[in-house]
Amino acid sequence: MKIVLIGYMGSGKSSIGIELSSILGYKFVDIDSYIEKKEKQSISSIFKTKGEIYFRKVEKVYLDEVLNDNSSLIIATGGGTPCYGTIMNELKKSKDVITIYLQTGLEELTKRLYIEKEKRPLISHLDNKKELQDFIRKHLFERSYYYNQSDKKVVTDGFSVREISKKIVLQLF
């Protein structure tokens, strides 16, 4: 089985993925880290030197590569991964894939992302919390169509990584 974590950047996909991996004994793959390793450069650098279209194309190639692994996996996608091309449809059609939307509120995302915005190429140019919050609000509106197609949904606000992971395990088994 492959458990694919979906949600906006800052929703905790990587942290929760690592915790779930520990609980379930599944291998963990963070798609962004996987891409960086394969491309031998950071996501920020890929965006700057090759652009978002190139990034989205290789993201699809590497996601397919990971999904074709026969192992039981926890996969943390990028925030935009399920929103491009046919990725979400393909995930939903895969018989051994369960998608889980980590639903995190606007206020919580703004708080988390403002702290680390310099490391995030899509938001590093935003100057203040208001601009960041407006950016996130727009993206959540655009992406909610895809995120809400997930097999499961877990609200993350107010819960620790451990608590969220336990909620996911209870929904799965």
117 C-beta neighbours (distance < 10 Å), count: 20
Has 15 been labeled as part of a binding site? yes
164 C-beta neighbours (distance < 10 Å), count: 24
Has 162 been labeled as part of a binding site? no
Has 165 been labeled as part of a binding site? no
Has 30 been labeled as part of a binding site? no
Has 12 been labeled as part of a binding site? yes
Nearest to 38 by CA among 67, 63, 10, 3: 63
Sheet of 97-103, strands arranged across = 27-30, 73-76, 2-6, 97-103, 152-155
Has 79 been labeled as part of a binding site? yes
Has 158 been labeled as part of a binding site? no
Annotated binding site for substrate: 32, 56, 79, 143
Annotated binding site for Mg(2+): 14
Annotated binding site: 10-15, 32, 56, 79, 120, 143
Annotated binding site for ATP: 10-15, 120
